[in-house]
């Protein structure tokens, strides 16, 4: 069975977050996983940006005007891939921030309740 892609792994964590009722243990595990995947996402951005820049340069050579070349280059699959990679990084950053907030809230709750998580 093939391993899930980086996007699939991030989407799975996102889906689990959306279901709610995340435990501190799950939040910490997901935070660590997302942190480890950031490097992969950054690598994808670098590669996609290099591919897009090649397309942009070709359009710049044929158009002669930067604004027209940019518009044409942004209609390509290379630009779509670049946008998807950048958007994925934003998603990961937001997910990580949410998990960090959740963990801080749980720590505060534990301190206020005398160290018993979930105590009434």
Q: What is the pLDDT along the chain (120 residues), one digit of tens a residue?
A: 788 899 999 999 999 999 988 899 999 999 999 999 999 999 999 999 999 999 999 999 999 899 999 999 999 999 999 999 999 999 999 999 999 999 999 888 888 887 655 544
d(CA 73, CA 87): 18
How many DSSP H helices and E strands does the chain contain? 4, 0
Among 20, 10, 13, 12, residue whose Cα is nearest residue 102: 20
Q: Report domain extents, the chain.
A: 6-15+23-107
Which residues have a Cβ under 8 Å from the Cβ of 64 and sit 6 or more positions away? none
The dihedral of CA 38, 43, 48, 49: what is its sign? positive
pTM of the entire predicted model: 0.84
- Which helix or strand (DSSP H or E) is residue 108 part of? helix 77-112
């Amino acid at each position: 069975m093939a391993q899930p892609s980086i996007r699939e792994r991030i989407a799975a964590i996102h889906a689990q977050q959306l279901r709610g009722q995340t435990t501190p243990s799950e939040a910490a595990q997901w935070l660590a996983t997302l942190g480890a995947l950031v490097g992969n996402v950054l690598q994808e951005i670098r590669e996609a940006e290099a591919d897009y820049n090649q397309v942009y340069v070709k359009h710049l050579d044929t158009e002669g005007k930067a604004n027209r070349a940019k518009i044409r280059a942004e209609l390509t699959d290379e630009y779509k891939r670049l946008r998807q990679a950048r958007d994925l990084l934003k998603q990961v950053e937001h997910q990580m921030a949410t998990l960090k907030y959740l963990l801080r809230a749980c720590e505060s709750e534990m301190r206020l309740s005398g160290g018993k998580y979930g105590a009434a």
